Every structure is written in C-alpha cells, then in structure tokens.
Chains A and B, each alone.
Chain A
Amino acid sequence: MIKTRTWIIILAAAALIAAAGTFFTLRPRGEAKLVEVVQDGTVLREIDLSSVTREYSFEVVWTDGGTNVVTVRPGAICVSAADCPDKVCVHHGWLTDQSAPIVCLPHRLVIRAKGDTSLDTVSQ
C-alpha cells in the first residue's frame, strides 16, 4: 500500500510537469508560412500563407456530410464555420504560428503549419 501522502506528492509533481509542458508546447512560436489542410490523413491542400494577397474561403466536406469552412488571409488561416458539435476548430481562431494545429475531431480535419520550407506551391 502506498500512503496517501505519497500519492499527493506524485500527482502534484505530475501536475507541475504537465503545466510546464503546456507552457512549452502552446506558447506562440515559429511563424506559419506553409500550412497543410489534412483530412483523415490525406493532404487536401498546401497553402503558402506568405504569398496570399487577399482573403478567400473554401469548404471541406467530410464523408458524413459534415462541413468546415476554411478562411485564408495573408499570413493566417482559420476555420470560420463548422457544423460539428463542439466547434473547437472554430474557437481556435486564426492560426498564425507553428505552435498548435487547428483540429476538428469529428471531421478528422487538421490544419497544421509546416516548418520553414520554401516550396513552389501555388496558392489559389
């Protein structure tokens, strides 16, 4: 049997580690230049945000009919509308750096920023 006091110390330490980890992973870092819109493991689009000149949107449809509206503007991308139940993807707001991807779990959609790569990608 492990004493309750020991458990408290163990869990408190774990909480501290998790908090520190949260700080390091979720703080803004790295500029988002190249982003990928991926659904179910398949890359739908690759967009070079630094060569976007004006704002535009497109729709992504999942196999069950669920939709996400992705909006792109110079240097940023976001999910502006979605019909998933929790709308975490919409609340994420504009993705401008490489820290955290935009995720829509029910629609298996993720928008992630790649590291600094210069590719001849045509933005639409």
Chain B
Amino acid sequence: MALLTAIALIIFIVEAQIPAPVPIPGIKLGLANIITVYAMFRLGPKDTAAILLCRIFLGSVFSGQMTTFFYSLGGGLLAYLAMLALRRVLTEKQLWVCGAIAAVCHNIGQMAVAILIFRTFELIVYLPVLCLSGLVTGVFTGLCAQFLLGRLKH
C-alpha cells in the first residue's frame, strides 16, 4: 500500500511538470488516478482512501502550493464517492468507465472548490471543456488501471 502511494505521488509530481497544451485552468491527464482506480478495485475503499489522502497531501506539499491541496481534495472527494458507488456496478472489464466518470466528478468537485475560493461563479464556463477532457483522459487512465488489474492478479 505504501508502495502504491509512493507510485501515485511520483506520477502526480512528474505530471505536474508537464506544461498544459491548452490555456485551460485545471486541465491535466490525471495519471495518478490509475493507482486510485486500481486500488479501489483491488484493495477496497478504506485502503484507497488512505492512499488518496496521502497522495493529495504530499503532492501539494512537494509541489509547493497549498492552494492545490484544496482543489485536489474537493475533486478527489467527489471522485472517490463516485468510485465507491461504481465499485458495485462495474465489472473488471469496465474500469475504463470508472476512470471516465471519476474524472468528470473530479472536475466538478474541483470547480466547486475553485468557485468558492475565487468567489467567482464565472469560472464555471470552463466546466464543459474540462468535463470533455476528463471523459477522454478518464477512459485512458481507467483502461490503464484495468490492464494493471488484469496483469497483477496472478
């Protein structure tokens, strides 16, 4: 479990170094969630919560921005709740669905936190495009988690 946390953290930090290709605030690949989705289906909710919280906390500490802590937390919380529900409904071949839905929930949660912090409702104009990218990247990260689960089961 500690290993998974470390891996997720490293992925998170490395991904944070990649510059955003488009000028949309908050857009990213979310690759660290490969670990989150994998853990949810392999280890269960409690372990996943621990890994996620550790990664969010340490991630914001190492990136030097405490502001990102709140965005990640808000997004992560909503995504976690979604995964909790989807865990019952999805099969092991459908993790890509989990990735996509969790990503969209993450965007919504993150947007909610940002709107509260900025006290600017206008930020919401970015939500559709973020959800679109979330759906696409979420399918990708979910697929990765799916392959991981399949490979590591034996």
Contacts and interface: CB of A to CB of B under 8 A. Distances in A.
Contacts, number: 101
B6 interface: no
Interface residues of A, number: 37
A25 B128 contact: yes
Nearest to B139: A11
Given A38-B119, A101-B125, A88 B100 contact: no
A103 B129 contact: no
Interface string B66-103: 01100100000000000000000111011001001100
Contacts of A105: 25-26, 67-68, 71, 114
A25 B20 CA distance: 20
Contact of A100 (B101, B114, B126): B126
Interface in A68-124: 85-89, 91-93, 99-101, 103-106, 108, 110, 112
Nearest to A19: B132
Contact of A101 (B94, B123, B127): B123
Interface size class of B (residues with CB under 8 A): 35 or more
Contacts of A108: 67, 117-118
B25 A88 contact: yes
Contacts of B25: 88-89, 103-105
Contacts of B128: 18-22, 24-26
A25 B125 CA distance: 5
Interface string B50-65: 0000000000000101
A100 B26 CA distance: 14
A91 B19 CA distance: 11
B118 A110 contact: yes
A19 B128 CA distance: 7
Contacts of A15: 132, 135-136
Contacts of B90: 2
B134 to A, nearest CB: 8
The 10 closest A-B pairs by CB, nearest first: A21-B128, A41-B119, A91-B23, A18-B132, A103-B25, A25-B125, A22-B129, A22-B128, A18-B131, A7-B97
Interface of A: 1-2, 4, 7, 11, 14-15, 18-22, 24-26, 38, 40-41, 64, 85-89, 91-93, 99-101, 103-106, 108, 110, 112
8 contacts: A2-B90, A18-B129, A21-B127, A64-B65, A85-B65, A93-B23, A101-B123, A105-B67
Given A105-B25, A108-B117, 4 more contacts: A14-B104, A41-B118, A91-B23, A112-B120
